[in-house]
A and B are shown apart, each in its own frame.
Chain A
Amino acid sequence: NAGVTQTPKFQVLKTGQSMTLQCAQDMNHNSMYWYRQDPGMGLRLIYYSASEGTTDKGEVPNGYNVSRLNKREFSLRLESAAPSQTSVYFCASSERVGAPNQPQHFGDGTRLSIL
């Protein structure tokens, strides 16, 4: 009963390095999301994918790219990491965006530090 699985759980990067955060869900959900959470800032939406084959920008997309590889997987890429991208990243999924009784299910998060 895995739900939403994120890898890695922790990562330290140097400024300018690139990396991809992986997310997979086994609930057959249509929609997937990437959030970042900074102290006192709540969750801010980076990108989301309403359905397989589509992606859209959220509140804070600059510096990130995403790929909806298939229905299960949604990856987040940092092409050139910056210290301002130090944060906790959460992936989430839901049956579909906007359904009133369809909450999001979250992964355990990736704690990313950029030096």
Chain B
Amino acid sequence: QKEVEQNSGPLSVPEGAIASLNCTYSDRGSQSFFWYRQYSGKSPELIMFIYSNGDKEDGRFTAQLNKASQYVSLLIRDSQPSDSATYLCAVCLSSASKIIFGSGTRLSIRP
């Protein structure tokens, strides 16, 4: 089992709709969780981080964490064509020694 798993997609969502991206992790003691956005040919850029159970909102983005289910998600409201990118989930392991990335979900917003 991979330490961090994401559906590779592509996930196609109509403009203006909610995009829902999911990530599961295997290390139950993982401490903190990050969502990065990566445009083709570019480096990853941080969107949000979360480390407490529940929801965290920042503009059109909401991160959700459920440690009991070992599940973290990212919701993008009012999706825009500029949101089309690959979204990477990253998890800081319980040993706090390193951060492991998922393989990413490719999101496509169709006009």
Contacts and interface: CB of A to CB of B under 8 A. Distances in A.
B103 A50 contact: no
Interface of B: 6, 8, 31-32, 34, 42-46, 49, 51, 88, 90, 92, 96-104
B48 to A, nearest CB: 9
Given A42-B101, A103-B34, A98 B92 contact: yes
5 contacts: A33-B98, A40-B103, A45-B101, A106-B43, A106-B44
Interface residues of A, number: 26
Secondary structure class of chain B's binding surface, majority of residues: loop
A27 B96 CA distance: 21
A109 B34 contact: no
Contacts of A101: 32, 49, 51
B43 A107 contact: yes
Contacts of A44: 101
Interface of A: 33, 35, 40-45, 48, 50, 56, 58-59, 90, 97-101, 103-109
Contacts of A100: 31-32, 49, 51, 92
Nearest to B86: A42
